[in-house]
Amino acid sequence: MMRKTLATLLVATSLAVGTAVVPAGPAAAFTVFDPWNYGQNVIQAARALEQINNQIQSLQNEATMLQDMAKHLQRLDYSSLGQITGALQRIDGLMNQADGIAFDVDATDAALRQQFPGQYDAAVTSDRFVADARMRWLDSMSAYRQTMRIQAQVVENVRDDGATLSELVTASQGAVGSLQAQQATNQLLALSTKQQLQIQNLMAAQYRSEALDQARKAQAEEAARAATARFLGTGTAYTPR
């Protein structure tokens, strides 16, 4: 459109070649219109206008690019960190409530040496046998109770995870930029990690209760052997003097 207008102007100015304006007074000088110079001025003005339009378009493109960058850097409004850490803290609290042989290496070694001796001393009384056996039974029952409580807490956490998962999927689908999408993905990965960690805790509690029960049975056999040996004595018949 601009080129067509410019061509029209050039044609119009070329028709005025040689045209002179004659003033009314005899003493006035002739003013000659130079169409070529005028055409050059029009061309320069058109080029300047085209450059301005290009600059305006460039600024508009940069503004659009900045808007897109701001959209990609927009943070996600939803965060599941509180729910995830809270669930893990509840599981950790139950793990720390372990009685008897707890989830600590040094404490476990000390308790094992006390409750599960390799052999019984000859001076150990029957009452000590009974007391130790009862202590081992109580620890085994406590371990099973703790395992069941952790199982119940894991089930509650899984129910809560359903709502958290729904919120994260909705946030991911409604993400307006790459940052929001990445943050939603990170939270989904954190939720999966939390589920794996609580399963590991549950397995640790389950294996602990089973190990304690097996150790209790093995120690009961050793205690029975020691008691029988003490009852039978050396096997030497009594010889009166």
What proportion of the chain, given as a percentage, has pLDDT over 70? 75
Residues facing 21 on adjacent strands? 31
Place of tokens 């900045």: 66
Q: Answer for the pair 70, 33: CB distance below 8 angstroms, yes or no.
A: no
Cα–Cα nearest to 157, from 199, 97, 186, 96: 199
Q: Give the SS3 label for residue 20.
A: strand
Number of domains present in the structure of the chain: 2
* Residue 94, domain extent: 81-230
Q: Are residues 137 and 111 in the same domain?
A: yes
pLDDT at 91: 85
Q: Are residues 93 and 49 in the same domain?
A: no
Length of the chain counted residue by residue = 241
SS3 content of the chain, % helix, strand, coil (to 5): 75, 0, 25
Distance CA 59, CA 210 (A): 72
Pick the most confident of 4-13, 23-32, 72-81, 156-165: 156-165
Q: Is residue 239 part of a domain?
A: no
Cα–Cα nearest to 118, from 218, 204, 9: 218
Q: Is residue 217 part of a domain?
A: yes
Residues 90-105: tens digit of each pLDDT:
888 888 877 667 677 7
CA 213 to chain centre: 38
Distance CA 194, CA 168 (A): 15
Q: Are residues 48 and 86 in the same domain?
A: no
Q: Are residues 57 and 113 in the same domain?
A: no
Q: Are residues 34 and 96 in the same domain?
A: no
pLDDT at 22: 45
Residue 70 pLDDT level (bands cut at 50, 70, 90): low
Q: Are residues 87 and 66 in the same domain?
A: no
Q: Is residue 22 part of a domain?
A: no
Q: Are residues 63 and 115 in the same domain?
A: no
Does residue 142 or residue 175 have the better pLDDT?
A: 142
pLDDT at 123: 65
Residue 233 pLDDT level (bands cut at 50, 70, 90): low
Q: Are residues 85 and 11 in the same domain?
A: no
Q: Tell me the Cα Rg of the chain.
A: 47
Place of tokens 């794996």: 196
Residue 71 pLDDT level (bands cut at 50, 70, 90): low
